[in-house]
Amino acid sequence: MKTVHTAIRSFCFACQGRSAARVNACGDADCPLHAYRLGEEADAPPDALRAVRRYCLICCGGERREVRSCAAKGGCALWSYRFGVSPCVYRRVKARFFAPRQFTLPGWPK
């Protein structure tokens, strides 16, 4: 499984026409992924997952619903991180959220 930094690097690589030199020389400072384009660097801010979320919101026109229903699963390296969390964390939270719950009424024995 890829880390968020390698996913960002491969996304930037595809964005710049599969040229590592163009990724290194990218001057688009307005892109939320700009600080992370070189992979896991020491001077990159620690919130790479939030940067991916911001980029996905920009890509989907600011619509959170569109980010959730994004159809670019096979074509986008950032797709797994589009919610701003690690995919394994997302799966755990989703499983806990949709897990069956026991219904109890106040005053009734368990």
CA–CA gap between residue 92 and residue 38 (Å, rounded): 30
The per-residue pLDDT of the chain, averaged, comes to 89
* pTM summary value: 0.80
Residue 4's nearest CA partner among 48, 43, 67 is 48
Q: Is the pLDDT of residue 42 over 90?
A: no
Q: What is the dihedral of CA 25, 27, 33, 35, to 10 degrees?
A: 70
Indicate the residue type of 29: A
Q: What is the pLDDT of residues 3-33, one digit of tens each?
A: 899 999 999 999 999 999 999 999 999 999 9
CA–CA gap between residue 104 and residue 31 (Å, rounded): 49
